[in-house]
Amino acid sequence: MRSKTERMARLRGMLHDLLIARESGESAPRLARAQAHVDGAMRVLLDSGQATLRELLEIVAAERARVSGPATAEIGAASLSA
């Protein structure tokens, strides 16, 4: 069985590959397959209790920033409730 660290590293790699494929204009079927693999890996981490939703969201945000650059602006909680 893989450790949490190994699973999280694998997830980061899968996310990176998915985001690169999206940026390069990969075909819809390939993107859908890659997205399904990422979703499945995240579900395993959540269901097994190895990761929290917050941890997974932080990984996704970090990989997006790494591939696409930083976000243009952060959205605060106050603007979400309006």
* pLDDT at residue 5 is higher than 80: yes
What's the pLDDT at 72?
Answer: 76
What's the pLDDT at 1?
Answer: 61
* pLDDT at residue 68 is higher than 70: yes
What's the pLDDT at 82?
Answer: 52
What's the pLDDT at 40?
Answer: 95
Q: Return all residues near 19 (Cβ < 8 A) that are at least 6 apart.
A: 63, 64, 67, 68
Percent of the chain predicted with pLDDT > 90:
76
Q: Which two tokens stand for residue 51?
A: 């990761």
Q: What is the CA radius of gyration of the chain?
A: 14
Section 31-39 average pLDDT: 95
Q: Is the distance from CB of 62 to CB of 8 less than 8 angstroms? A: no
Nearest to 43 by CA among 6, 5, 11, 3: 11
Summarised one tens digit per residue, pLDDT across range 36-48 is 999 999 999 999 9
